[in-house]
Structure 1
Amino acid sequence: MKKLEEWQKSFFILYIGQATSLLSSSAVQFSIIWWITLETGSALSLTIASMVGLLPQAILGPFAGVWIDRYNRKKIMIIADSAVALSSLILGVTFLLGIQSILLVYLVLFIRALGETFHKPALQAVIPQLVPASELTKAGGYGQMINSACTMVGPMLGAFIMSVTSLPYAMLVDVLGATIAVVTLSLVNISKQLKKQSKNLDFIQDMKQGINAFRSNKALNRLAIPMLISTIIFVPIGTMLPLMVIGYFNGTAWHNGIVQTLFSIGMLIAAMLIGITGGLKRQFLMISLSTGLLGICALIGGILPPHLFWIFCIVVFVMGTTGMGFNIPFTSYIQRTVPAENLGKVISLITSAMSFAAPVGMFIAGPISEMIGVSNWMFFSGVFMILIGIVCYFLTREFDISVNNEVMLDEK
């Protein structure tokens, strides 16, 4: 058996803890939403819960990036995990004492989202401090594989917990997961990041420098508009899958469960393959192909007749695989090309943009799909995604040459 390299040991120790935390967080997120559903039966209450979970990243993300680059990223991740654990502990204890307040639940959701606002970009920014540049795509594949697995299993765990016990005990599971993440993270030796610009810049100047770092990266600039449009179109497709199953294919909750599971399995397999192989050498081609293939899947899903549900299942499985072909190489390119002192700011900026783009997509898709039907929305979304994939290829193909040269130099 091939011996693990030093960076691989550190990477996997880090992700063992992160996987435990992500799994428990996913289970608790399901448990909280289920509790709100049972207690209120209100769509408005669920909408408020969703907005509370979205706002910190959308509003505070660019500011969080400055702190991520100025201060020790490892400590920021530990503080974020600890804050989430503390909020979960407080909610669990108050519920056990008989104090059950939906306002307190909203507050805990806000704290959890605030922790993720700092934790996720810090984690992505710290990976290049552990992983060689030539291995970033593989590492991204492994990371996404773990994320996909936890996201898939987490709701099942949450459903099991809520079926045998109650919300406070689910919160205590989250405390355990966050504690394990903090302990494993403390064991990983992470090299110190550069902070040379932060000493001479005020906060706003530092944030502007992150924006300038993004604007000066030609490939990221050319991907920005296609990336935003893809998010606006893709998020509603994923959200409307249950409507397709029930309203168009006349399915049941069981059929919807199959579709959701196949989508997650597709993501998991694609991430695993990219983790093992590193994906295509021409990473911008991989991004363009992924976007186009997603469009083809959506188009086919939109024109299938209602009696071909099992073909739709295959289409959804392939659709699940395509997102990894965009996300993983895109993230690894950012990690490889953005200067370390600006990496947290750029990642936070992009994440915030995506957080705004997602609800915009739902705001557009909701009324239109009501008028023309969900299947027609999928069809026209597919057409747009194919066009975006083609445009993306012509905008970015020149950068594949420089990326390949960078990898070859790094390997030497």
Structure 2
Amino acid sequence: MTAAGQVAPPSARFSALAVPNYRRFIAGQGISLIGSWTETVAQGVLVLTMTGSAFDLGLVAAVRYLPVLLLAPYAGVLVDRHDRRRTLLVTQTALAMLALGFGIVILTGHQSLMLALLVAVVFGVLTAVDNPARMALIPELVGREALHSAVTLNSILANVGRGVGPLVAAALIGTVGLGWCFIANAASFTLVIALLLSMRTAQIHSEGRIPRRPGQVRAALRVARTNPQLLGPLVMMTIVGTLAYEYEVSLPVFGEHSLAGGADEYAWLTAGFGAGSIAAGVFLLFWPQTGLTRMAMISGAYGVTLGLTAAAPNSLVANVTIVFVGACSIGFLTTGNSTVQLFAPAGMRGRVTALWTTAFIGTTPIGAVIVGGVGQAFGGRASLFLAAAACLTAAGVGALIGRIRPRDDAPPTPSSPRR
């Protein structure tokens, strides 16, 4: 396995792409994630347009991810008990129907805050199952030898989608309107479903299904607690996920109010963020990063770039510094995601990745309300300064956890890379 920071040979970097099922998976997910982030940006603009309130924006984001906070650990058990491809077929179909329905509602002029809240709740329930199912399916598609390549490629693509989606949203909002962002997301799920159905099931190497028994969530927590390479990323993501990854709340307020640029400024900020994500994604493809030490270093850089953006005196400077924020964002996410997947035990992958989902997305109900409240009271700059402080704190915490030796009674992690 390639050490962090070393240039990976081409055969190692792209080995997962030699697997036909993985090519189908990553092609579908790439399109779907672009659609999902197109919808996410549109939802933020919609709520801010309807209410003009940063608090309401934070409330919708909180409700959108509250089910992930409450259900994700148990959803991970569900993923470990059932066929992961079939689970994805169910969740992706339901998400497509939800996006299509709400898009039609917006196009016909019947949107309301209460309806946006209801859609957000249903989205959250489906996401609680969908995220760990997607992450846990990857090893079954490629096997152990190409796992590092697959995880890295998928993490990069996921975060590139996070960057490209806002570009698509900005184009659609500026031309045909908000409703078409939701229609476009629904259409993206259609391709995912078709590609999942086209997979060669005989070439999917199942890691096995666990039987129903008590204590399965506690077992995953015990594994995470006793392995610093799992504990560190999970704790760091909890801190950063709560206070930094609330861009659905902080960037609209920062762009429209602090920079006085209106909805167009939010779109430009997200576009710059996306450009940085894409550039960093290409870099990480050639220099993949894993391990807690690398993650702590990237978290420190993340905090610095967020602080520079918060202090930007005008729109031009903010649109330059946000590019570096996007680059650090994908570096942090990809390094943490890769580390967690590589060190997660095979029979527990659904539950461990569900803990990562909880730390990343499930903390939004708490963070969105805090960031929304800070933005409402002190402005968008304060929200970004808070995010910067969270990243710097996480860097310090990660460095401390990195000094902990794995406990002698720690459960074995058969999928962990040799160090």
Pairing 1:323–2:337 present? no
Partner Cα distance (1:72, 1:147) in 2: 22
- CA 1:399/1:241 → structure 2, altered by over 3 Å: closer, same or farther? farther
More displaced stretch, 179-188 vs 62-71: 179-188
Alignment correspondent of 1:191: 205
Counterparts of 2:257 and 2:222, CA distance in 1: 47
Instruction: Show the counterpart of 2:6.
Output: none
Superposed counterparts of 1:296-311, under 5 Å: 296-303=304-311, 306=313, 309-311=315-317
Q: How far apart in 2 are the matches of 1:125 and 1:334?
A: 11
> 2:81 is matched with which residue?
70
- Map 1:4-403 onto structure 2 (within 5 A): 5=15, 8-9=18-19, 10-30=21-41, 40-41=50-51, 43=53, 49-88=60-99, 100=110, 102=112, 106-133=117-144, 135-158=146-169, 173-188=184-199, 189-195=203-209, 198-199=210-211, 201-202=212-213, 204-235=214-245, 239-245=249-255, 247-249=257-259, 251=261, 253-279=263-289, 283-303=291-311, 306=313, 309-366=315-372, 375=381, 378-379=384-385, 382=388, 385-396=391-402
5+ residue gaps, structure 1: none
Tell me if structure 1 keeps the 8 A contact 2:299–2:394: yes
CA distance in 2, matches of 1:42, 1:249: 16
In structure 2, the CA distance between the partners of 1:337 and 1:116, relative to structure 1 (3 Å rule), is same
Structure 1 distance, partners of 2:253, 2:297, is 27
Question: Structure 1 residue 68: deviation in Å?
Answer: 0.1
Deviations 1:113-167 (A, max 9, x none): 3222211111111112233556545433432443334334434545655677678
- TM-score normalised by the chain length of structure 1: 0.78
Query: Displacement of 1:337 after TM fit?
Result: 1.8
Q: Matches of 2:105 and 2:258 in 1, distance apart?
A: 44
- Tell me how far apart the structure 2 counterparts of residues 95 and 379 of structure 1 sit (CA, whole Å): 34
Q: Verify the 8 A CA contact 2:296 2:396 in the aligned structure 1.
A: yes
The answer to whether the Cα contact below 8 Å between 1:284 and 1:397 also exists between their aligned partners in 2 is no
Partners of 1:387 and 1:146 in 2: CA distance: 27
1:140 and 1:275 in contact (8 A); partners too: no
**Contact 2:156/2:330 (<8 A) preserved:** no
Contact 2:77 2:216 in 1 (8 A): yes
TM-score computed with the length of structure 2 as normaliser: 0.77
Deviation at 1:270, TM superposition (A): 1.2
Deviations 1:90-121 (CA, angstroms, capped at 9, x unpaired): 5677889x795756665444333322221111
| Helix, strand or coil at the partner of 2:142 | coil
For residues 295 and 404 of structure 2, what CA distance do their matches in structure 1 show?
Answer: 13
Aligned CA distance change for structure 1 residues 135 and 314 (closer, same or farther; 3 Å): farther
Contact 2:61 2:364 in 1 (8 A): no
Letter in 2 for 1:61: A
Query: Aligned partners of 2:384 and 2:102: how far apart in 1?
Result: 40
Question: What number of residue pairs does the alignment pair up?
Answer: 396
Looking at structure 2, the residues matched to 388 and 33 of structure 1 have their Cα atoms a distance apart, in angstroms, of 27
Structure with the higher fraction of residues in helix conformation = 1
Q: CA deviation at 1:34?
A: 5.6
**Amino acid across the alignment from 1:148:** N
Tell me which amino acid in the other structure corresponds to 1:316.
I
Q: Give the superposition deviation at 1:321.
A: 1.0
Q: Structure 2: any 5+ residue segments left out of the alignment?
A: 1-9, 407-412
* Residues 1:249 and 1:399: Cα distance change in structure 2 (over 3 Å): farther
Contact 1:145 1:269 survives alignment (8 Å): no
Q: Residue type matched to 1:131 in 2? A: V
Task: From the CA coordinates, give the structure whose radius of gyration is larger.
Answer: 1
Alpha-carbon spacing, 1:264–1:137, altered in 2? closer, same or farther (3 Å): farther
Q: How far apart, CA to CA, are the structure 1 residues paired with 2:27 and 2:216? A: 33
In 2, Cα distance between equivalents of 1:344 and 1:119: 11
How far residue 170 of structure 1 moved from its aligned partner, in angstroms, is: 6.1
Residue identity in the other structure for 1:315:
T
Alpha carbons 2:276, 2:325 under 8 Å: kept? yes
**Aligned in 2, Cα 1:319/1:163: closer, same or farther, shift over 3 Å?**
closer
